[in-house]
Amino acid sequence: MLRIVLFLVLIALAGAGAAWVADQPGNVVMTWGSYRASPSIPVFVLCLGIFAVAIVLLWSIVTTIWRTPGRMRRRRHDKRHARGRHAITHGLLAIGHGDTALARRHADAARRHAPDDPLALLLHAQSAQLDGNRNEAQRAFRAMAEREDTRLLGLRGLFIEAQRADDAVGAVMIAEEAIKLSPSSTWASHAVLGFRCARGDWSGALAILDSNLSAGLIDKAAYRRQRGVLLTARALELETMDRDVARESVMEAIKLAPTLVPAAVLAAKFESEAHQVRRAMKLVEAAWLANPHPDLADAYAHVKLGDSTRQRLQRVETLAAKTPADKPGHVEGQLALARAAIDASEFARARAALAPYVNDPTQRVALLMAELERIEHGDSGRARAWTLRAVRARHDPAWTADGYVSDRWRPVSPVTGRLDAFQWQTPVASLPSDKGATIEASAFEEAMLAAPPPKRVTAAPSESTAEPAVTVPAPVPAAQDNSPREAQEAVKESVEEAVKEAVKEELAAAPVEPVKPAPEAAESSPVAATPVFRTRADLGKPAQAPGQAVIPIIRAPDDPGIDDEGPSDEFTEQIGTSKAQAGGWRGFWSRWGA
C-alpha cells in the first residue's frame, strides 16, 4: 500500500513539473557554427530527455556485448559445477548402499566436471576403497594430503591404508605428522599413544597424554587414571632393571589411581621391602575394597616377610572380613581364605570357606577342592573327580579387554589399542546363555565326590563249592544336593538292572549257595552281611545294605576299560568263518578250478 501511494505521489510531482515547464514562456537558442536553433523550453526539455534515454540504451548495449563472453564462461562453469555436485551427491549415496559400479561412474563424472572440488577427491578415494583398489585410494589420499584444506583428511586416509597393509611404521609416522599439524586430532593422538605403548615407550606415551590434556581431549579425572596406568606399566617393566625408577613411578601411580590392582600390589611390595608394613597394608586394603583380586590377597598375606603360614592365614582373614558379603567380590575373600588355610594345614577352615560354593563351583573352587582332597586325605580318586569337574565348571573372572582374555594385566588392549581397557571380570564367552543356567556334573562324579574312599572286601570261599572269591566294593551313598534326584534314580535303576541280568546268567549256568563273608571283613565293612550271590527267589528284590542301597562297580572316567572284542591273531585261521575269495587272475583261475 505504501508503494502505491509513493508511486501516485511521484506521478503527481512529474505531472506538476511537466505542467510548470509547459507554462514557461521563452525559447532556448543554440548556435553551432552556421547552425542555429531556437526551440521553446518545453521542446528543449523533451529533446534533452530523449537524448539521455538514447545514451543510456546505447551504454547498456555496449556493456552487454562486452560482458557476454564472461557470462558465457561463468554459465558453463556453473553448469559443470552443478553436474559435479550432482555426481558427488549421487556417488556418495551409491557408496552408502554399496553399489561399486555406480559409485565408480559418478566418481569419474565428478573428476571430469569438478576436478578441484575436495569432495570429488574424497568420492574418488572412497569408491576406490569400496572397489578394493588400494593403489588408486592411496593416490587420491596423497592428492588430498597435498592440499591445504584437505591435508588432515588425506593423512587420515593414508593412515587407514597403512593399517590395512600392516605397515605399522608407516602408520605411526603418518599419525605423528597429523599430530604436528593438529594436536587436537583425536584419532592421531589415540594411534600414537597406542603405538608408543605397544613399543614400551612409556615416556613418549606420557608426553602424548600431557598433550591430550592440554588440547582438551580428556578431562582431569581420565588424565589421572591413564597417567597412573602408564606409570604402573613403566614400573612393572623396570622392576628388575632399575628399581629406584620403578619405585618412584609406582608411588606416583598409586597416588593418581589408588584402586589400580597392579599398582597397589607393586607398591605394597616395595613398602614391604622397606619395612613399611602398615603403609603396605593400607594400600592393599584401599584397592581391595574397590576391586577384590587374588593378587591383592596374596600381597596382603606376604606383606611381612618371614611370617608363618598361620600368621598369613590370620592376616587373610582380616582382609576377607573387610569385604561386604553383598558385593560380588566376596567370593575372592573366601577363596583367598581357603588358599591360606590349605597352606597352613587348616583343612576344616578351608572346607568351611569353600562350602557355600561347592554346589555350583567355579574352576578355582573345584581345583582348590581337588587339592584339599589330595593333601588332607590322600584320596587321588576324589581329587581326579574334582579336577574333572573343574574342566566343565564356570570360568572365574580374568583380565578381559574387548573380548581378549589375558593371564596378566596389560595397560593397552591388543585389539583396539585403548588405554586402561583391561577389567577384572568374567569373560563374555564363558557366561551362560540363560540367566539361571548352571553346569551340572554327572551323577557318577557326584557319587564319587559324596562317597567315602571305597573299601574292598574279599569273601571267603565256601567249603561246599570251588568257586573263586568275589571282590565286592563298598557302597557309595547317593549324592546329597549335588545333582538332580532324577539322574541319581536313573543311574541306580540302570545299575540294578545290569546286576540282575548278570546274576540271572550266573545262576542259569550253575546254582551257587550264598557265600558268607569272612569275620574280619564283617567287622570292617558295612556290607559284610549282604550275600554276594542270591537265590532265584531273591532275584526280584534289590540288594539292600543296612540303611542304604548297594551300587556296584561302575567304570571310572579315566579307566580305559576292556575292549569288547578280544585280541585276534592275523596269522591264525578263524574257526567257523569262510576265507575271503582272492581277486584278480588268481580268483578267476580258482573259480575254474572249483
pLDDT of 295: 93
Q: What are the angstrom distances between the C-alpha of 119 and each of 81, 138, 158, 396?
A: 12, 16, 16, 52
Q: What is the 3 state secondary structure string of 328-386?
A: CCHHHHHHHHHHHHHHCCCHHHHHHHHHHHCCCCEHHHHHHHHHHHHHHCCCHHHHHHH
pLDDT of 504: 54
Give a yes or no: residue 492 inside a domain: no
Q: What is the DSSP letter of 549?
A: E
pLDDT of 487: 42
Give a yes or no: residue 240 inside a domain: yes
pLDDT by residue for the chain (594 residues), tens only, comes to: 888 988 888 888 888 888 887 777 778 788 887 888 888 888 888 888 888 999 999 999 999 999 999 889 988 888 888 888 888 888 889 888 888 888 888 888 888 888 878 888 888 888 888 888 888 888 889 988 888 888 988 999 999 888 888 888 888 899 988 988 888 888 888 888 888 888 888 988 999 999 888 888 889 999 999 999 999 999 999 998 899 999 999 999 999 999 999 999 999 999 999 989 999 999 999 999 988 999 999 999 988 888 888 999 999 999 988 876 666 667 888 999 999 999 999 999 999 999 989 888 999 999 999 999 999 888 888 889 999 988 888 888 999 998 899 989 999 888 888 889 999 988 876 555 444 444 444 544 555 555 555 444 444 444 433 433 333 334 434 333 433 344 445 444 544 554 455 445 444 544 444 444 444 433 333 333 333 334 434 444 444 443 333 333 334 444 444 444 444 443 344 444 444 445 455 555 555 554
Beta strands in 475-563 (DSSP E): 544-545, 548-549
pLDDT of 568: 45
Give a yes or no: residue 227 inside a domain: yes
Task: State which of 336, 357, 378 marks the end of a domain.
Answer: 357
The total number of residues shown for the chain amounts to 594
Task: State which of 34, 61, 78 marks the end of a domain.
Answer: 78
pLDDT of 265: 94
pTM, full prediction? 0.59
The total number of structural domains in the chain stands at 2
- The H-assigned helical ranges of 291-329 are 294-301, 309-321
Q: What is the DSSP letter of 480?
A: S
Give a yes or no: residue 48 inside a domain: yes
Q: What are the angstrom distances between the C-alpha of 177 and each of 140, 191, 238, 368, 413?
A: 18, 12, 30, 54, 24
pLDDT of 228: 94
Residue 65, C-alpha cell as written in the block: 556485448
Residue 391, C-alpha cell as written in the block: 574342566
Give a yes or no: residue 24 inside a domain: yes
Backbone angle region of 528, left / alpha / beta, with phi > 0 → left and psi within -120 to 50 → alpha: alpha
Domain that holds residue 58: 18-78
Task: State which of 327, 342, 357 marks the end of a domain.
Answer: 357
CATH number for 334 = 1.25.40.10
Give a yes or no: residue 580 inside a domain: no
Nearest to 111 by CA among 143, 150, 154: 143
Residue 567's Cα: distance from chain center in Å?
52
Give a yes or no: residue 62 inside a domain: yes
Identity (one letter) of the amino acid at 474?
A
Residue 340, C-alpha cell as written in the block: 591360606
Nearest to 353 by CA among 367, 375, 336, 366: 336
Give a yes or no: residue 335 inside a domain: yes
